[in-house]
A and B are shown apart, each in its own frame.
Chain A
Amino acid sequence: MVAAKHPVLLVALPLVFAAFCPVLAMWKKSACFPWALAGVSATTFLAWSLIGKVSPRGAVAYNLGGWKPPWGIQIRIDYVGLLMICLVTALGPLLVLYSYRYVQHELKPERVPYYYTLFLLVFTAMIGFTITGDLFNMFVFMEIFSIASYALVAITGAREAVRAAFKYLLMGATSSLTVLLAIAFLYSATGSLNMLDISIRLKTTPYVPVAAVALVLFVAGFSVKAALFPVHVWLPDAHSIAPAPVSALLSALVIKMGVIGLFRAIFTIYGPTFATRSSTWSSLAGVISWLAVASILIGAVLAIIQKDFKVMIAYSSVVHIGYILLGLMVLTQEGTAGGLFDILAHAMGKACFFLVAGIFIYKGERRQLRELRGLGRTMPVTAGAFAIAALSIVGMPPTAGFMAKFYILWGCIQGGRYYFVVLALLGSLLTAVYCFRVVYYLFFTGARMPDARIDEGPATMYIPAALLALGTVFFGVFANLLIPSLNTAARVILAK
Chain B
Amino acid sequence: MTSYKWMVDYTPQTEWINGRGILLWLAFFFIELGAGVFFVASFFKSLEAMLIGWLICGVIGGGVHIMYLGHPFRFWRMIRKPGSSWISRGLIFVSIFLTLGLVHMALVQWASSSVALVVVVDLFAFLTIVYGGFAMNSVNGIPLWNTALLPILYAVSGIWGGAGIALGVALGTGAVSTLGVSLEEWIRLLLISYIVLLIVYLISVRYTNPTGKVSVRRIIAGGYWPIMWFVVVLVGLVIPITVVAISFINGIETMPLFVLYFSILCELIGDITMRYLILKDGLYSPLISSSEYTTA
- Is B a genuine binding partner of A? no
Give the interface of B toward A (CB within 8 A): none
Give the interface of A toward B (CB within 8 A): none
